[in-house]
Structure 1
């Protein structure tokens, strides 16, 4: 994860919609004038963005409303893609906005059993949906969230029925259900539509690299600022807010901070050869580290603790590996925060050849330089010298 990126968590006790996400971003401090100017390059006229600070249950938040004079203009996905591509937007914003519209279109096409380009986008083509999706992506990019790790709480979908273009349908709407496949959701807390297709498409698009993070909660997280986006419904005694929590800015720290997962289990009935095979497979799948610790188990049996570190997006694959390839019937999973030195790789010359050296930085200060073992090993073998000679020569060259 780049140092200018920040993790984010969407708390959705009252569902999610496009204007709730946009409202939360503005509540965090997103400059409305700059946002509007960017959106005008996609849709020049026919709309106004109105924002209002409000209080519900004594908690302040921001409500966003897109006021339009266009009522029944339906646009196809190709037209929307062209509009976004022509806009003066960062490439990342364009990519994620198109991704969200594509997901929304695919959901509608699947529900109505139509070809993607044949779908009449009743909601997708509306101006407010374009403003909500493109505006949300612009705001998320402004705060360094696009491309970073995103998580959500279980998403409340509401209940009851809603009147749509095709008649009365149950809540959640079919397109919403399609977009929430595999995501932890819950009904309520009121019998109204709380999760909209537009809001779900935005979350699905930005969680594409970590879909498993949707609905699973915040996990290990260094809380920074929080924005409250108000929903359109006024629910007596309820806030009806979406909370967007962004990670505390760690760019001023002298080291990088990563959030990873740790998997552990104890085993007393596998051979070292088998355990070594599991470790090799885990590393091949992308594990950050695998190691074993000797432990005392029940009935005085000596055993080992398997410890595996991985990216949060790889937890499912690593869990499957451990449960399939070892004798354990369960594995513990923890979210952990890892502090690591910023690093750079350089090449230095020794009397026997070139060696790559990894340098670790505490802020701007180089605090350690480590020659690459494989380079030193190869040069030592080729030149019939001790590996320590090559290693020390590389370290001395790196210090100059």
Structure 2
């Protein structure tokens, strides 16, 4: 199991994170090839080696074609970030970005991580502006370079096969910064909202150390906060910010590999039971819960007081999503109350692998323990696309890919 530690001594931003992961060893060709499959503006991405107060680090270099830059320049106002090439492309609504990711050919884990980052940012922006998160009109994270940062980081994590992410407390900086809507205090409103519940570091520096995109990584992808884990370091990478301070403006990332046979994590279970809700509402509730980050949701038939048949609704989620799920149940069901508890779950270690099939290269998820493979599961979205494209029954494609993967991987 591979663990990543984000050492955010000088804050965190999108370009710093992507550059640090590439410095750590993420395959840049893989990242670029996957990004170029998406319906986004043509771009050129590279990294260069620079020095920040004596620390050799990688700096992300991102360029768009001049035609695209000219076309979109008059539509937008620049928003500050650590990136020197914070291009002023057209802004996109959260719903459009999420739809693009969901409909892409990215692997399930890359989709999940990308969607979770944009989701926490959209919810923060929605709260600040008093609007539905889906209708949020992104500024910084709607720019093409920040979309590339977010999805690029998810791809880099996949390239490194990172299973778990831990982070240090996060400094934000102080002072004021000019943004699209005017002069704002640091941390910017979106950054502050995203970082609710996240431990902050006491590091008094004038300037923006953590951007909304960086805060989004911390809130959406990190499962624990604290000091460096007591494990053997496998590799270290450094990503440089574009600003210069009296301290090294770098993000340090460290890769650890544990010998655990399975992963242990704490989840929150939110429940309620009711006997007076129409069946159609249950389908809507499940869609909403999964869209808002629930790990799973299921319904159990039960017998309630006065022998009335009822339904027990159980939602599994990450601890930081518990409030969202409680509010969802109170708003979208007929219940007058919810209860929650913390559970510990053990899950098999997993990795994703490509296999060659008569329908092309497809992805399978492998669950293993003690080096022994326990499960091989084809990815649902890919099987669905193949079944529809070739007019073949879903289960026929699923079993074929499962058998081919088992033969290729276990031989």
Q: Same fold (TM over 0.5)?
A: yes
Number of the residue aligned with 2:99? 82
Number of the residue aligned with 1:48? 44
Taking the aligned partners of 2:34 and 2:166, their CA distance within structure 1 comes to 27
Q: How does 1:342-361 map to 2 (within 5 A)?
A: none
Taking the aligned partners of 2:123 and 2:57, their CA distance within structure 1 comes to 33
Taking the aligned partners of 1:44 and 1:137, their CA distance within structure 2 comes to 16
Number of the residue aligned with 1:398? none
* Conservation of the 8 A alpha-carbon contact between 1:176 and 1:197: yes
Taking the aligned partners of 1:133 and 1:239, their CA distance within structure 2 comes to 23
Matched, 1:104 2:121: yes
Taking the aligned partners of 1:37 and 1:362, their CA distance within structure 2 comes to 33
Number of the residue aligned with 2:389? none
Q: How does 1:222-233 map to 2 (within 5 A)?
A: 222-233=232-243
RMSD (Å), alpha carbons: 2.9
Matched, 1:245 2:254: yes
Taking the aligned partners of 1:14 and 1:163, their CA distance within structure 2 comes to 20
Structure 1 pair 110–58 and aligned structure 2 pair: CA distance change class (3 A): same
Q: How does 1:162-241 map to 2 (within 5 A)?
A: 162-207=177-222, 210=223, 213-214=224-225, 216-236=226-246, 238-241=247-250
Out of 85, 97, 115, which is 2:132 matched to?
115
Deviation at 1:125, TM superposition (A): 1.5
* Conservation of the 8 A alpha-carbon contact between 1:81 and 1:98: yes
1:185 aligns to what SS in structure 2? coil
Deviation at 1:47, TM superposition (A): 2.2
Unaligned residue ranges in structure 1 (runs of 5+): 262-312, 315-360, 365-400
Structure 1 pair 43–227 and aligned structure 2 pair: CA distance change class (3 A): farther
* Conservation of the 8 A alpha-carbon contact between 1:24 and 1:244: yes
Taking the aligned partners of 1:127 and 1:363, their CA distance within structure 2 comes to 41
Residue correspondences, number = 256
Q: Which has the larger radius of gyration?
A: 1
Deviation at 1:54, TM superposition (A): 1.3
TM-score by length of 1: 0.59
1:238-287 CA-partner distances (Å, limit 9, x unpaired): 2111011111364xxxx7487899xxxxxxxxxxxxxxxxxxxxxxxxxx
Taking the aligned partners of 1:218 and 1:260, their CA distance within structure 2 comes to 18
Structure 1 pair 222–173 and aligned structure 2 pair: CA distance change class (3 A): same
Structure 1 pair 98–258 and aligned structure 2 pair: CA distance change class (3 A): closer
Unaligned residue ranges in structure 2 (runs of 5+): 73-87, 267-317, 320-368, 373-411
Number of the residue aligned with 2:23? 27
Structure 1 pair 256–222 and aligned structure 2 pair: CA distance change class (3 A): farther
Taking the aligned partners of 1:101 and 1:118, their CA distance within structure 2 comes to 13
Structure 1 pair 239–114 and aligned structure 2 pair: CA distance change class (3 A): same
Number of the residue aligned with 1:374? none
1:43-72 CA-partner distances (Å, limit 9, x unpaired): 453322131111223321111132232424
Structure 1 pair 362–246 and aligned structure 2 pair: CA distance change class (3 A): closer
* Conservation of the 8 A alpha-carbon contact between 2:169 and 2:201: yes
Taking the aligned partners of 1:182 and 1:117, their CA distance within structure 2 comes to 23
* Conservation of the 8 A alpha-carbon contact between 2:95 and 2:135: no
Q: How does 1:128-147 map to 2 (within 5 A)?
A: 128-145=145-162
Taking the aligned partners of 1:257 and 1:96, their CA distance within structure 2 comes to 20
Taking the aligned partners of 1:97 and 1:232, their CA distance within structure 2 comes to 23
2:255 aligns to what SS in structure 1? strand
Q: How does 1:217-366 map to 2 (within 5 A)?
A: 217-236=227-246, 238-248=247-257, 250=259, 256=261
Taking the aligned partners of 2:54 and 2:136, their CA distance within structure 1 comes to 43
